[in-house]
Structure 1
């Protein structure tokens, strides 16, 4: 009875010992393989260091060559990025073939192609912004330093990367805008030119001589230093308002938002001063009440 109980215990012990022996052999084999691979790993590590050095010097050389041209800063960043990317791809392929000798460049490229499809589906938004960033850098418009307006965001372009664009709002905050948003939606570039047309409405009373009022307004606008008189000044009677005849006054000044605010401030002040000096009323809204029956202005008291 005791022998029958001891026999299964010995069998389980033998199995356990065999498992440990197999595991030990596998660990020893992995350790020996790792030791044999150490020289190749060291060579691959050296290749990566050389790749980093070569990429760094290649970017400097590219900067020197580009510096002699009038290339935009955003396009310069794009060239630097592609130079580094190309060198690192070559360096990584060489390092992988050193570690895994059976891996050929053809099989590596094929594997990268299959992996790129899988990664493309998984990171569709990232690649969309990447391609949009490349196209934004390639196009001539929207340079760094421009003030733009897109989808309710107004600000100054500070930096363009392959993923996003840094837009500094006029109130001081910075907004990280995905490149796909700037590529898909209409973008208004406020500072594409150094000059921009501004406008304001000026109203005069109905009993005013409109020709005289137009001359007074034009003279007032011409007196403002910030106004570019060579570009012309427009004074158009545009609307019969509830209590005034409105003129649309248009002039040219600097395209920056600050330039627009300053010129508009001085133009409004000049128009107000000119109309006051000419005795022309700038009416404010008023209401006329009409009654069916006459309303007595005074009456006898009940006492």
Structure 2
């Protein structure tokens, strides 16, 4: 037992210089990585590189430096392990890890591609696979979307990379439409002029950029329906506010012009004549006629 302890002690003192050198190298590289993480983002920001791409570059540099540090530190501490052997072992282990964490790596790579390509960015309103809301954060693994009802959805990046994504705020303006019906007895051309004048007076309607369009769409059950189309802000709140103002303005204008906005009528037809029963009350009590 004593000899074994002595062998351990001798062995420890023999490799102590290598361990000290490994710790010194690791500490030096830790400082270098911190400096890189501090300098590179500032330099890229001055070069007007967008934030998402800056984050990807810093992340790749950090991962590369840490991998280099781990290999060299291991080689210094254990000289029998060369970088080639370490990389071979890392490759074999990487295959096993890759199969075990396939979904994680898929989302990781999808996140890098999304950050580099940037099809949508933070504050954009998007819709994908039933998720509809504003992007609050894009990370390497997932994307955080705040839905219009206030709920937060954290979705894997692979979903946004593999499926079609509707970007509602890709431009400042978006087209919206409402349907308005007028009675069959009204003059169609006159109604069209009344409606289009009312829509143009709404402040949220951007008729300075795109024209307001109105078309007689169909002969409905109890009305002639007009399709009213205009351009306004692209956020969901802009759309709702603009529709509210347009509907109110069109209703007011049609009322002022004496135009009837119909509601469904129902006509009941019976095969046999109906007997009309009239009730009257007198001094002798109720009497049926």
> TM-score of the superposition, structure 1-length normalised?
0.86
| 2:132 match: secondary structure | strand
* Structure 2 Cα separation of the partners of residues 137 and 45 of structure 1: 35
Q: Which has the higher helix share?
A: 1
Residues 118-197 of structure 1 correspond to what in structure 2 (within 5 A)?
118-197=96-175
Question: Is the radius of gyration larger for structure 1 or structure 2?
Answer: 1
Q: CA deviation at 1:125?
A: 0.5
* Structure 2 Cα separation of the partners of residues 258 and 67 of structure 1: 32
* Structure 2 Cα separation of the partners of residues 30 and 178 of structure 1: 50
When structure 1 is superposed on structure 2, of 106-115 and 259-268 the one drifting more is 106-115
* Structure 2 Cα separation of the partners of residues 30 and 199 of structure 1: 83
| 1:229 match: secondary structure | coil
| 1:44 match: secondary structure | helix
Note if contact 1:59-1:80 (Cα within 8 Å) is conserved in structure 2: yes
The answer on 1:57 being equivalent to 2:45 is no
* Structure 1 Cα separation of the partners of residues 180 and 31 of structure 2: 65
- Name which of 44, 55, 58 aligns with 1:80: 58
- Name which of 62, 69, 75 aligns with 1:91: 69
When structure 1 is superposed on structure 2, of 34-43 and 56-65 the one drifting more is 34-43
Instruction: Give 5+ residue unaligned stretches, structure 2.
Output: 280-286
* Structure 2 Cα separation of the partners of residues 215 and 118 of structure 1: 71
Note if contact 2:33-2:62 (Cα within 8 Å) is conserved in structure 1: yes
Match of 1:287 in 2: 266
Match of 2:222 in 1: 243
The answer on 1:232 being equivalent to 2:235 is no
Instruction: Give 5+ residue unaligned stretches, structure 1.
Output: 1-20
CA 1:166 to 1:282, structure 2 compared with 1: closer, same or farther past 3 Å?
Answer: same
* Structure 2 Cα separation of the partners of residues 174 and 253 of structure 1: 27
Q: CA deviation at 1:29?
A: 4.0
When structure 1 is superposed on structure 2, of 66-75 and 118-127 the one drifting more is 66-75
Note if contact 1:190-1:255 (Cα within 8 Å) is conserved in structure 2: yes
Q: Superposition RMSD on alpha carbons, in Å? A: 2.1
Q: CA deviation at 1:49?
A: 2.8
Q: CA deviation at 1:32?
A: 4.6
The answer on 1:219 being equivalent to 2:197 is yes
* Structure 1 Cα separation of the partners of residues 5 and 276 of structure 2: 113
